[in-house]
Structure 1
Amino acid sequence: MTLQPILPWWLLLPLTAAALVFLGWRILCERRRPGRTGRIRRALLVLFVLTAAFRPGIPGGSAQAAAADLNVFFVVDTTSSMVAEDYGNAAPRLAGVRQDIMAIAGELPGARFSVITFDTEAHVRMPLTTDTSALDTITSILQPQVTSYAKGSSITAARQVLAERLSAARDSHPERPRLVFYLGDGEQTSGKEPEPMALDGELVAGGAVLGYGTSGGGRMKENTGMESDDDAPYIQDRTVDAAKDALSIIDEDRLREVAARLGVPYVHRSAGDPVSAMLQEARAGALERTEQDGTLGGRTEFYWLFAAGAFVVGLAELMGIIRQLREVRPAARPLRAAHGGQPKDTAG
């Protein structure tokens, strides 16, 4: 038997203790009053709800149950190089990033997702949530840094923010495996070596580093910050005498270094590549497939039994309240005399 509470332990345990103390106090105060059946119903209702909140279960179950226990972090490179037009049919690399994020989310139904982006600095664009509509919205509006603000970036600029978010997720729900998907091109433009992506080995249970771009490189349109940059000029390479369109080239060696630091595989992504095969390897540290039928190992939940019990008891309590309300009758008004507004004397 295992427990996976719906709230962090530090919050659920005090709430449970307070509820039990209040329940015991009410039972002691009303032990000599009529209505023993009602007190038993209310006590059962509280106990059923508290037990359901702890989510008891045993190992085993379906892929959906296991995926629902995952915290998934997408770390997305949003530097200018991520709009290099060498993904698929001259599409920007961010187009592939958007497709892969939503494809991964589709393969992990019920998981919690977070999005962290980085260019010169790192930002949490979306905290952990099961709302895939919010994930779709955040992903669809991903844009590179405004070109005029770009001053060089590091491929590990998100290391501190990622470490903080992973630590917070572990502290609040230590039973949930944490997957990290790093999506970028590995191009280091800060002029110095990147700081190592040093994380506690227990923080990352699986994931992958996904690389975008080609060895031939691609041109990048400027991001002016306007709503539509379709007609924006291409970023220029001014390190040569005659300025020309700059090219961004994927650096797979650096991406492999990031993958090694995170303890996850590196996978190059091209247009049309499926995510299912990549996920099998990416989740190796978090979820294991059974040899019998290839489904993912999870757990069988029992909380619904106690939730159903709470519903039945609560329904009975509601019916009792309705019955008591029906028994209440308004007090009869005294008869008043026709004159003077005084009650009529019926004695004589």
Structure 2
Amino acid sequence: MNVQNGLNAFKGLTLDPMFGWIVSPILAVAVVVLTVVMAVRSHRQRPYTDATTVDWVRRVLASVMLAVMLLTPSTTLKTESRAVNATDVFIAVDVTGSMGVADAQYGSDETMSRIDAAQQAVDGIVKLYPDASFAAISFGASGTLEVPLTPDSRAIENWASTLTLEPTSASSGSNLDKAVDPLLLATKNTRNQHPDDTIIVYYISDGEQTSNKSRRTFSSLRAYVNGAQTVGVGSADGGQIPQIADDGTMSTDQFVTDPSTGQPGISKLDEKTLKAIADEMSGSYVHVDAGRTIDERDVQQTSSDWRMQSTYKQREHSVPAIWPFAIVFAVLLLWEAVAWMRTSRRLL
């Protein structure tokens, strides 16, 4: 049974050359060919050489073992866990109707809606932390943790690509502090579970507060957050707010009316408020526009620690299986050393 299991293990071997598919095969062939050439040359020089046929068979076998190790036989393991960096990134995105205003830019002169710019900003944030865990929060009339903390960055990208704005019929004015409660609860739970993690918050909004209620401070997050950044989307000139249907569709010719004037309301980027929110979290502020995107300048403090964490999908990775060949190689080298010492003593 053990022999059968061993044979099955070898059947599952694949090659994963340690120096790549170009260098490793060249080195492997060169080692074997050079040894064979030297063996043939030694055989032709007999009896004027001390090396025997057994000696050269041993050396050829050693070179073959070395060549096999250069080609690195490996087994493929399937697992549902992965090593993740102990950095937790929480991304909060404004989904109020004003985020539908088409006055934003992101790395080009093309004008787009603020929510489109926010989606691209989310993708940029995810790329800054390739091995971190992420959580996603949307806020409008209320704040909701839509994606719990996960190492699956694709889940965050998918979430961002499907973001829809709050229907105009459900809107009661912009409340920028609606993100506080879900952020506070989520970061507090994370801090309790992983006290040594580095927690980062990104808050994406146009900064417009239209509710009659006073905005609550974000300073309570300081107890749990190591780094924070507010990201402003939109322009100071502003634009008209489109009507948002109940299914999230934005109208192209119907706009929200300002009740005080009876004319379409104008929504403008409020950088002052966004800077204030950043200051309350001891963070920084950045405005994305035609010449500015989320990039390496926006990387916050990250953790140097790692931990194993379960994922939602099965992952495959190669594990080198060269130890049987290394054992044979070591035995052949030991044999070679013993044979060399015997020959040296005989010649004295």
* TM-score bracket for this pair, using the shorter chain length: 0.5 to 0.7
What is the SS of the residue equivalent to 2:184? helix
Mapped to 1, the partners of 2:104 and 2:90 lie a distance apart of 23
Judge conservation of contact 2:135–2:147 (CA < 8 Å) in 1: yes
Determine the structure 2 residue equivalent to 1:211: 232
Question: Could you tell me which amino acid in structure 1 is paired with residue 289 of structure 2?
Answer: S
Aligned to 2:176, the other structure's residue is in SS state coil
Partner of residue 129 from structure 1, selected from 128, 150, 169: 150
Q: Which has the higher strand share?
A: 2
**TM-superposed deviation, 1:86:** 0.4
Q: Which of 228-237 and 266-275 deviates more? A: 228-237
Residue from 140, 151, 162 that aligns with 1:119: 140
Q: Which residue is 1:78 aligned to?
A: 95
Residues 175 and 90 of structure 1: CA distance in aligned 2, closer, same or farther (over 3 Å):
same
Task: Work out which of the residue numbers 63, 69, 73 in structure 1 matches 2:86.
Answer: 69
TM-score, scaled relative to structure 2:
0.60
CA RMSD of aligned residues (A): 2.5
Q: Deviations over 1:210-243 (max 9, x none)?
A: 1111111012211112364454612222311xx3
Corresponding residue of 2:68:
none
Secondary structure, counterpart of 1:233 in structure 2 = strand
Partner of 1:183: 204
Once the two structures are superposed, residues 285-325 of structure 1 have per-residue CA deviations (whole angstroms, 9 ceiling, x without a partner) of: x33xxxxxxxxx735899xxxxxxxx99xxxxxxxxxxxxx
**Contact 2:200–2:228 (Cα < 8 Å) also in 1:** yes
- In structure 2, the partner of 1:12 is none
DSSP 3-state at the match of 1:136: helix
Q: TM-score, normalised by structure 1?
A: 0.60
Contact 1:72 1:179 in 2 (8 A): yes
Q: Does 1:100 align with 2:107?
A: no
**Aligned partner letter, 1:146:** P
Cα distance in structure 1, aligned partners of 2:307 and 2:220: 32
CA distance in 2, matches of 1:300, 1:153: 39
SS at match of 1:199: helix
Question: In 2, distance between residues paired with 1:248 and 1:200?
Answer: 28
8 Å CA contact 2:95–2:164 kept in 1: the answer is: yes
Give the SS at the match of 1:157. Answer: helix
Greater fraction of residues in helix = 2
**1:220–1:235 Cα contact (<8 Å) kept:** yes
Return closer, same or farther for 1:125/1:206 CA change in 2, 3 Å cut-off: same
Q: Contact between 2:240 and 2:255, CA under 8 Å: does it hold in 1?
A: yes
**Contact residue 86 and residue 305 of structure 2 kept, 8 A:** no
Which of 292, 298, 301 is 2:304 aligned to? 298
1:268 is aligned to: 287
Query: Does the alignment pair 1:237 with 2:243?
Result: no
Residue 177 of structure 2 is aligned to residue 171 of structure 1: no
Mark the CA change 1:147 to 1:200 in structure 2 (over 3 Å): closer, same or farther: closer
- Would the alpha carbon gap of residues 85 and 301 (structure 1) be closer, same or farther in structure 2, given more than 3 Å must change? closer
Give me the whole-angstrom Cα distance separating, in 1, the residues matched to 2:306 and 2:157: 30
Give, in angstroms, the shift of residue 275 of structure 1.
2.0
Q: Distance in 2 between matches of 1:231 and 1:186?
A: 23
CA gap 1:244/1:105 in 2 versus in 1, 3 angstroms: same
Residue 167 of structure 1 aligns to a residue whose secondary structure is helix
Determine if the alignment matches structure 1 residue 226 to structure 2 residue 243. no
| Deviation readout 1:64-112 (Å, 9 max, x if unpaired) | x8x8221000011111111111012331101111001111101211211
Note if 1:110 corresponds to 2:127: no
In structure 1, C-alpha distance between the alignment counterparts of 2:306 and 2:215, rounded to whole Å: 44
Distance 2:285 2:111 in 1: 23
| Whole-angstrom CA distance in 1 between matches of 2:250 and 2:272 | 32
- One of 253, 256, 259 as aligned partner of 2:272: 253
Cα gap change, 1:301 to 1:127, in 2 (>3 Å): closer
Matched ranges for 1:42-57 at <5 A? none
CA contact (8 A) 1:159 1:198 kept: no
**2:199 and 2:226 in contact (8 A); partners too:** yes
The yes-or-no answer on 1:146 pairing with 2:167 is yes
For residues 93-149 of structure 1, give each alpha carbon's deviation from its aligned partner in whole angstroms, at most 9, with x where no partner exists: 011110011111012112111111111111111101111221121101111111011
For residue 39 of structure 1, what is the aligned residue in structure 2?
none
Does 253-262 or 198-207 show the bigger shift?
198-207
CA contact (8 A) 1:210 1:269 kept: yes
CA distance in 1, matches of 2:250, 2:293: 30
Matched residues, number:
225
SS of 2:254's equivalent? coil
Query: What SS class does the counterpart of residue 207 from structure 1 fall into?
Result: strand
